[in-house]
Amino acid sequence: MADTTNTTVQSAAAYTKKQLLSAKRYASRHDLLAALLQDGQTYTHEQVQAALDKYLKGVIQ
């Protein structure tokens, strides 16, 4: 007899560049996100935060 336990995988919500740029959450980083994010891709909040952190902690040459 097979186990019929339902397993659900929760995926984080992904947003387009346009949606993220219009979000109040990122209002203070609008210009930076416009440069970092690519058109036609979707991003989770975790991915956006990681991209911001990576850029802001980058080494200035």
| DSSP structure string for 33-53 | HHHHSPTT-EE-HHHHHHHHH
Show the CA angle centred on residue 20, arms to residues 18 and 39, nearest 5°: 45
Using alpha carbons, select from 32, 7, 5 the residue that is nearest to residue 17: 32
Could you tell me the pTM of the whole model?
A: 0.74
34-47 per-position pLDDT tens digit = 999 999 999 999 99
The rounded percent of the chain whose pLDDT value lies above 70 is 80
